[in-house]
Amino acid sequence: MQFHVAGFYLMLQFDGEPVARVLQEAKKYGVTITLDTAWNSKVKNWQELIEPSVFRISAVQEALRA
Q: Domain limits of the chain?
A: 2-61
Nearest in space to 6 (alpha carbons), one of 49, 36, 26, 39 = 36
Provide CB contacts within 8 A for 8, sequence distance 6+: 15, 19, 35, 36, 37, 38, 49, 50, 53
CB 9, CB 46: distance < 8 Å: yes
Q: Residue 10's pLDDT band (boundaries 50, 70, 90)?
A: very high
pTM strictly above 0.75: yes
**What pLDDT digit, counting tens, does each position of 31-65 carry?**
999 988 898 999 999 999 999 998 898 876 666 66
Residue type, 58: S
Judged against a pLDDT cut of 60, whether residue 17 lies above it is answered with yes
CB 28, CB 22: distance < 8 Å: no
